[in-house]
Amino acid sequence: MKFEVTAQDANARRGRLTTRRGVIETPVFMPVGTAGTVKGVDPKELAESGYGIVLGNTYHLMLRPGVEVVAAHGGLHGFMGWEGSILTDSGGYQVFSLAPLRKLTDDGVIFQSHIDGSRYELTPEKAVEIQEALGADIMMVLDECPPHDAGESHHREACRRTTRWAERCLEARTGAGGALFGIVQGGVSRDLRLEHLETIAEMPFEGLALGGLSVGEGPQRMAEIVSAVGPQMPSTRPRYLMGVGLPQDIIRAVSGGMDMFDCVVPTRNARNGQLFTRDGPIQIRHAAHTKDTNPVEPGCTCPACTRFSRAYLRHLYLSNEILGARLNTLHNLHFYARLLEDIRRAIDSGGYAAWASRTLQRLEGQVISKKV
């Protein structure tokens, strides 16, 4: 993997990330393909929407259909028919979100499947082994992600364990996998974050990520941590803000020097009838759209906007038609692709701060929920 910064405007960075599968312009948003698919979207449609990288979920794929099934197809690329790059998480976040079903030790995590209760063990070595078998272009270390409101002692212990697991992940690499990213923890403590960053940055990772954010601490606190820690991350490596994907959060995080993002927001919210526009989101189920012959957003070139009206999309949603979920998803993914294009263009022009201010003013006060 190679990474270069091609332009910078204050802390906002424009870059180019090259994996063995192709070139990715940054800042970049990665759609989430939890079970080997971005829900409702054909891989060709993803590529046509402007995406060159998606995220795969180690935890879910190891449970179903199983790593052996995916490996028999030559890896996740062949299994899901995707020719672009794939970043896989380590499964740590999903495991730690299942607190009642897991036991955590320095060796790793023993947990029960949320599907059938089967018992599994996930160690740093196993996380790397699985991701290499999946054929990931970018792999993540196994880390501990505590709740945002955990005490300082808990967060400090999580940093210690994450550091040790990061060392073991590096040792476990065989060379068959892709790049490996380290993860910085520390909750909402600026000092602890910077302390952990210093430790992780000394290790030979190809990229670094901020984990344990967007887990309930609130957008203002998250922005403060990102703006304090992001610019201190090594400038020669890509910086990945994990699990963050609201438009406002992305814009602010780019101001803090971040390069990569992922989130289920555009696809999950689409399935629940929330469509993003440059002037904030709309709820397509609202009665105001009953007879509206206009597209979701004038000028948008996605399949939903070029062919169908708000009234039709509302009808599909209320009728629980699969086409409605597909069209809504394609629109939101198209919106995010355009948003990131606008961000890159603003950085290239040297006017990112002004562009970000104008865009945030349009979005300010809009209710955008991750849990719609």
Q: HSE on the CB side for 348, CA within 13 Å?
A: 11
Alpha carbons 87 and 352: distance in angstroms, whole number: 27
Catalytic residue among 9, 137, 249, 262: 262
Spell out the residues 6+ positions from residue 150 whose beta carbon is closer than 8 angstroms to its own. 158, 187
**CA triplet 159, 164, 170: central angle to 5 degrees?**
125
Q: What one-letter code names the amino acid at 213?
A: L
β-sheet bridge partners, residue 292: none
Tokens of residue 87, six digits: 């970043």
- List phi, psi (to 5°) of 230: -50, -55
Tokens of residue 308, six digits: 């169908």
Q: Which helix (H) or strand (E) holds 170?
A: helix 152-172
Catalytic residue among 89, 137, 143, 259: 89
**CA triplet 233, 234, 237: central angle to 5 degrees?**
115
Query: How much is the CA Rg of the chain, to the nearest whole Å?
Result: 20
Alpha carbon separation from 359 to 101, 241, 297, 339, 362 (Å, rounded): 42, 21, 16, 10, 5
Tokens of residue 336, six digits: 């995010």
CB atoms within 10 A of CB 271: 18
Alpha carbons 339 and 250: distance in angstroms, whole number: 9
- Which one, of 20, 7, 13, lies nearest residue 206 by Cα? 20
Spell out the residues 6+ positions from residue 278 whose beta carbon is closer than 8 angstroms to its own. 297, 359, 362
Alpha carbons 150 and 290: distance in angstroms, whole number: 46
| Annotation says 259 is catalytic | no
| Annotation says 262 is catalytic | yes
Q: Are 271 and 39 in contact (CB under 8 A)?
A: yes
Provide the 3-class DSSP secondary structure of residue 200.
helix
The catalytic residue positions are 89, 262
